[in-house]
Every structure is written in C-alpha cells, then in structure tokens.
Structure 1
Amino acid sequence: MFDLLLTPEFYLSLLTLTILEIILGIDNVVVIAVLVNKLPEKVRRKAQIIGLSAAMLVRILLLFTLAWLSHLIKPLFHIGDFAVTSRDIVLLIGGLFLIYKATVELIEFMNDSPDDEHEGERTYASFTSVIIQILIMDAVFSLDSVITAIGLAQHLTVMILAVVIAILFMMIFANFIVRVVDKYPSLKILALTFLIVVGIVLVVEGLHIHFDKSYLYAAMGFSLLVNILVLI
C-alpha cells in the first residue's frame, strides 16, 4: 500500500483519473444545479452537499462491489442480435427521465410570467422531491464514472481517491453554477437544453450506439462562451 504511494505511476494515474471524473461529473453537477434552483435559496447549499455526497457514496460503493458491477454489463436477454444488459436499462430509463424532466422544466420556465420571478411569489419544489430526483440521476451518472475508473486504474485506492477529490471539487463548483443559473435566465435555458441532449446521449448509449462526448462538450462549451460574451 505505502510502496504504491512512492511510485510516480500512482500520482499520474490519480491525476488523469481525477480530471476524467471531473469531466464526467459535469453532467451530474448541471443536473443538481437545475434541480436545486427549484428550492428556496436558504436550503440550496444543503441540497447540493447532500446530492454530491450521495454521488460520492454511490460511486465508492460501486467500486467496492466490482463483482456485482461486472454483472451489469452481462446480457440479461436478447432481442434478435441485440444483447440487453442491466447497464443498458439504467441508461435508457435515466436518459428518458432526464429528457422528460429537462423538457418539463424548460416549458415551465418559458411559460413563467416576469411577475412570477419575484422571490416572494415564486413557487418552490419540496426538498424531499428534489433530493429523490438528484439521487436517481446520481445513480445513472455514477455507472459511467465508475466503469471509466475501472478501465483506467488498476488499484482501488487510486479509484476511490480520484472520486473523492473530483466530488470535493464539484461541491465548490456546484454552488457557483447554481448562483449563475439563477442570476442569468439565458444560461438556465442553455443548461436545460444541455440536459436534454445529455438525456438523448444516454438513451443512444443504452442502444449500444457509441457517441463521442467530446463533441457534445465542445458544442456546449462554445454555446456557453457565446452566452457569456452576450451577457458581457
């Protein structure tokens, strides 16, 4: 264990995996930011911490149950030549839920009158319902995160440290996203659109159609840059 800490490979692997975990966690952070935005301001930070802490615990538990996780990618049944796995089902359900949730939020946001934006008149979601939705999406996003960790790192210690560091980084980052999304309506529209696209990608991956997410992040990054330039 301690010999591992003295090797440069350990730190290189940890750095690489932490960066990848942060990138893969962007979707998770945006989902939490949008859902938490439906809560009163005084409890938003609490919901963020609970949501991201749950995401960290789910990832660590999955890493400790590697044998069970391996069964998720084994075929449950076949539809013709198409092998259906537990992972496919989770991605399909999670993707469809994300598309539905983001679309409903987008429609509600577009239909809100300017008078409804005043803090005193605003209708808030219940804390429990928001936490439940966050936990559902944590489970979906944790699968790809953990599978990536297993594929890149050989030691459980490296995987767990990378997950913990990435989640701690996202806890700081999430609060900033929530404030920005709440302050600039155009960015909320962009975030909800991003979540719809992410939901579509999850469904597509559940159908065994590979999609390079770097194109998605590049497109959304460009859109974000344009929005920032307009706001400036």
Structure 2
Amino acid sequence: MQDILQLVQDPAAWVALVTLVVMEVVLGIDNLIFISILTNKLPPENREKARKIGIGLALVMRLGLLGTVAWIVQLTEPVFEAFGHGFSWKDLILIAGGLFLVWKATKEIHHTVDPEDHKEDMVGHAATTTFAAAIGQILLLDLVFSVDSIITAVGMTPHLPIMVIAVLAAVTVMLVAANPLANFIEKNPTIVMLALAFLLMIGTTLIAEGMGFHVPKGYVYAAMAFSALVELLNMLARNARQRKRQAGQTDRTLH
C-alpha cells in the first residue's frame, strides 16, 4: 500500500501511466480491427456476445501475463540462432501470429474480391461451429497481441500497478469502441477492404519484428491514419454525389 501511495505522489509515475495508456490503446487497435471483422461474419444475434467474449479473453490474458512478468521477460532471451539472428520465444510467437494474420487477411480479401467463391469463409459455415471457430481465432490473436502489449509495458515501466491500470484502461476503450467500429465497418464495404489491408500490414510487421527487423510503430500507425483519412474523404465525396443525384431526381419529379 505504501508503494502505491509513493507512486501516486510521483509525477514521473503519472507521466509513465499516461504514456503507457496511450500506447496500450494504440496497440489494442490491431486486436480490435481483427475482432470486428471476424465477428461481423457471425449471425447478428451472436456478434456482440462474441466481441465481449473476445475482449474479455484479451483482458484475462493480459492480466494473467502481468502476473508472470518475470517469465515474460525471459521470453525475449534467444533460444536458438539462425540466419545470423538469435530467435527468442517472443520472436517465434510474433512470427506465428503474423503468418496467421497474413493468411487470414489474404483469404478474406480473396472472398471479398470474389463473392461467388464460398467454399470456405473466414470462420466456417454452420452457426455453432462458426461461433466456436471465431472465439478460437480471437483467442489465438489475443495471445499474440497480449504478449506484444505486455512486453512493451515491461519495457516502459517497472511498476506493476501502472501496467495493470494501463491494461484495464486500454481494454475498457476496446470494449466501448467494439460495437460502433464493427457496425461502421459492416455498413461501409470499402472500409472492410481497408481494414483487411491494415491486418495484412500488421501481420507483415509482426513477421518482420520476429525476424529481427525493427519497424517503428509510429510509421505503421501514421500510414494507417493517412489511409483512413483518404477513405473518409472518399466516403464524404460519395455521399455528396449521392445527395446531388437524389436532389436532381426530386427536381425532375416535381417538374
């Protein structure tokens, strides 16, 4: 309790907390995009439930990993060397998660481009197996993003209470934003393709990180923000053209 009081009175701890909360929220965007796209494949009555379960699992996994910080730190130690790079368990987890994300995004892009091909969709056919498969895939990606998130937190502050508060804040933001983001993606087909492209880029970045090539996160998220801004302008332009056509049709009807 005394340690917590000392942290509350320490301005540096508050700066670390704010910085880490922002970082955790940004890192949670990747997780949330994947959950949104995946759950939109489910029947409407199961979507919100799957999102809550997926985000709840992300919270449990992050808090569980925080309880094993000493073990998490060891994940960054090399276990073998290949191609002149020492691979750690963290690297292997990032590579596996990146490959999975690239595969899923590529498969979903293919089905989006070719709507007639329904041999296999992102999460299966039957509603029950679809729900189970969706939760399983969310759990797998939760693990990858959670390991990356917690290792980032450990690198930014040695104080466990700060890490816990940052994780709780980030997951709360994910929970609040999950339904609006998923609904927005579903209502705008072009956003779906953009979000899939984001997942493809995130997967490639995870693989690069696992192979020892550091990719500054700022560049990745700046590219995502710029692409989202361009798509927003396109949406505004399409809506303006649609309103103009509707106004023209109304005028012709009146005359």
TM-score using structure 1 length = 0.91
Quote the residue 1:103 is aligned against: 106
Tell me, in whole angstroms, the C-alpha distance in 1 between the residues paired with 2:193 and 2:82.
Answer: 38
Q: Which amino acid aligns with 1:53?
A: G
Per the TM alignment, residue 37 of structure 1 is displaced from its structure 2 partner at its CA by: 0.9
SS of the residue corresponding to residue 78 of structure 1 reads strand
Instruction: Answer yes or no: is 1:164 the counterpart of 2:168.
Output: yes
Q: TM-score, normalized by length of structure 2?
A: 0.83
Q: Secondary structure at the match of 2:81?
A: strand
| Aligned mate of 1:220, from 201, 221, 224 | 224
Superimposed CA distance per residue, residues 142-165 of structure 1 (whole angstroms, 9 cap, x where no aligned partner): 112111111112210110011001
Structure 2 spans left out of the alignment, 5+ residues: 117-124, 237-255
| Letter aligned with residue 69 of structure 2 | L
> In the alignment, which of 87, 93, 97 is matched to residue 84 of structure 1?
87
1:87-166 matched pairs, under 5 angstroms:
87-112=90-115, 126-166=130-170
Higher relative contact order (CA 8 A, sep 6+): 1
Q: Which runs of 5+ in 1 are unaligned?
A: 114-121
Amino acid at match of 1:96: L
CA displacement, residues 174-218 of structure 1 (integer Å, 9 cap, x when unaligned): 211100110000000000011011111111111000111211211
Asked if residue 38 in structure 1 is aligned to residue 41 in structure 2, the reply is: yes
- 2:19 corresponds to 1:5: no
2:205 is matched with: 201
| 2-structure distance, mates of 1:80, 1:213 | 24
Aligned residues: 224
Determine the C-alpha separation between the residues in 2 that align with 1:94 and 1:229.
Answer: 32
Cα distance in 1 between the residues matched to 2:70 and 2:10: 27
Q: Where in structure 1 do 4 or more consecutive aligned residues deviate above 4 Å? A: 122-125
Amino acid of the structure 1 residue aligned with 2:150: V
1:2 deviation in Å? 2.8
State the shift of 1:61 in Å. Answer: 1.2
Shift of 1:224: 0.9
CA RMSD of aligned residues (A): 1.6
Q: Per-residue deviation at 1:225?
A: 1.0
Please tell me whether the aligned partners of residues 20 and 156 of structure 2 are also in contact (alpha carbons under 8 angstroms).
yes
Structure 1 distance, partners of 2:197, 2:185, is 13
1: CA distance, partners of 2:216 / 2:88: 21
